[in-house]
Amino acid sequence: MAQTYLYLFLAIVSLSYVLGMILDRLNTLHWCNGLPVRLKSIITEEEYQRSISYYKQHGNLSNWEESLSFVIIFFVLIWGGFGWLDSALRHLSTHFLLLPLLFFGTLGLISGVIALPFEIYSTFVIEERFGFNKTTVRTYCMDKLKSLVLSIIIGGGILSLIITIYHYTGNWFWILAWGVVIVFSIFSVMFYSTLIVPLFNKQKPLEEGETRQAIELFAQKTGFKLDNIFVIDGSKRSTKANAYFTGFGKKKRIVLYDTLINNHNANELVAILAHEIGHYKHRHILKGMALSFLETGIVFFLLSRFIDPSTSLAQNICAALGAAQPTFHVGILAFGLLYSPISTLISIFTNVLSRHFEYQADGFAGTHCDPDDLQQALKRLSVDHLSNLNPHPFYVFIHYSHPPLISRLERLESLK
């Protein structure tokens, strides 16, 4: 039976790899040699070719990374590598908390080391080549160090809590673990801006002036109470621009990248902000959180059924990974593999919903300010970022959290 599960694991990782490659190929074939007619008013032939070249270089790099990861996981599964790691670490400790922490810590470290050269090449070669990169080697190393310490403290802390709950409560652990994740998520949304962001970036309130006045006037007009408009030094790492909304209640704040302020006029900035306020007015943040909490609950419940060591299911899935005995940490890994196709389906559904939310936020912006301003801002963002303006519809359906530029412009056009 363990053998059957091993074949199932191998089939799942192979299928997901092949499907990923097919989708990528579809997208590449969708590029035409010349500039498609419907894009002619948005982008020049030269910019279009540049965006294709940019996209191709990133695509090739991620294909190499995915292929390498696939080969490694495939052979690790065949050789029972996860079970081997479990028994090797048992020489160091068999403590109920320390062993899983060592296990996941080692796997996290190995996957981080595998991803590192690809990340460095992406930032310092491709992004640099196209003039986006502003990250210095020092900033990059400090970022890595800070992220590592944060993931040890936060990731390790939450994992320890969940393992401890499992150790003392057994099968009912899922309700308590679910509660822990919900409380932590709410806490992190509320305090992300004040506790985490300052470790990486400087934020300061938007200066008095034309832009601030225009934004405040707009917020007042739409009955949106806005005390916190911050500017973040995104230019420290990249010339790419962004804006986001975070927190809720008194903690809510709008954050604009300095690169966004430098590249857009006051009207366009108000339109971008209107889009963000649209998300808030339609309660997208709350809806998104409620859905992810629901999924977390289901995952923990299913997990508790899969890793009960007294069942033959837990024994078989752990044996399939080469482990001599069923354990919490190897069980989580096996469950993760079995769950990954469901997780892919859920992410497709989430993307459909997210694209719907984007249209709603655009609709809010388009009815409360001039749709031309948002169209202008979106066009400039897409062209400046060398976004893929001609993606394959099926690729969009599976992967895109935002609708492609053309569709957004068309919807905004219909509001005029």
Question: Look-up: residue for tokens 């969708």?
Answer: 30
Rounded to a whole number of angstroms, the minimum distance from the CB of residue 279 to Zn ion is: 6
Residues 257 and 232: beta-carbon distance below 8 Å: yes
Tokens (6 digits) for 399? 């992967």
Rounded to a whole number of angstroms, the minimum distance from the CB of residue 274 to Zn ion is: 11
Residues 13 and 377: beta-carbon distance below 8 Å: no
Residues 9 and 320: beta-carbon distance below 8 Å: yes
CA–CA distance, 112 with 146 (Å, rounded to integer):
14
Q: Which is nearer to Zn ion, 272 or 303 (CB)?
A: 272
Strands 243-246 and 229-232: unpaired
Q: Which is nearer to Zn ion, 260 or 320 (CB)?
A: 260
Q: What are the φ and ψ backbone dihedral angles of 328, each rounded to 5 degrees?
A: -60, -50
Binding map of Zn ion across residues 345-384, x = CB under 5 A, - = no contact: -------------x--x-----------------------
Q: Which is the catalytic residue, given 86, 276, 358, 373?
A: 276
Residues 252 and 192: beta-carbon distance below 8 Å: no
CA–CA distance, 391 with 397 (Å, rounded to integer):
10
Question: How many residues bind Zn ion, per CB under 5 A?
Answer: 2
Rounded to a whole number of angstroms, the minimum distance from the CB of residue 17 to Zn ion is: 31
Rounded to a whole number of angstroms, the minimum distance from the CB of residue 402 to Zn ion is: 7
Q: Which is the catalytic residue, given 127, 268, 362, 370?
A: 362
Q: Which is nearer to Zn ion, 86 or 358 (CB)?
A: 358
Rounded to a whole number of angstroms, the minimum distance from the CB of residue 207 to Zn ion is: 25
Residue type, 161: L
Helix axes 405-414, 328-368, angle to 10 degrees: 40
Q: Which is nearer to Zn ion, 5 or 364 (CB)?
A: 364
Binding map of Zn ion across residues 60-89, x = CB under 5 A, - = no contact: ------------------------------
Q: What are the φ and ψ backbone dihedral angles of 204, each rounded to 5 degrees?
A: -140, 150
Residues 228 and 210: beta-carbon distance below 8 Å: no
Q: Which is nearer to Zn ion, 13 or 189 (CB)?
A: 189
Rounded to a whole number of angstroms, the minimum distance from the CB of residue 209 to Zn ion is: 25
Question: Look-up: residue for tokens 């005029």?
Answer: 416
Number of H helices, E strands in the chain: 18, 4
Rounded to a whole number of angstroms, the minimum distance from the CB of residue 415 to Zn ion is: 16
Q: Is 276 assigned a catalytic role?
A: yes
CA–CA distance, 88 with 380 (Å, rounded to integer):
54
Q: Is 370 assigned a catalytic role?
A: no
Tokens (6 digits) for 375? 């169209």
Q: Which is nearer to Zn ion, 169 or 292 (CB)?
A: 292
Question: Look-up: residue for tokens 């894009």?
Answer: 39
Q: Which is nearer to Zn ion, 83 or 278 (CB)?
A: 278
Residue-wise burial string across 54-76, b where 16 or more C-beta atoms lie within 10 A, e elsewhere: bbebbeebeeebbeebbeebeeb
Q: Would you name the residues annotated as active-site residues?
A: 276, 362
The residues that touch Zn ion, with contacts defined as CB under 5 A, are 358, 361
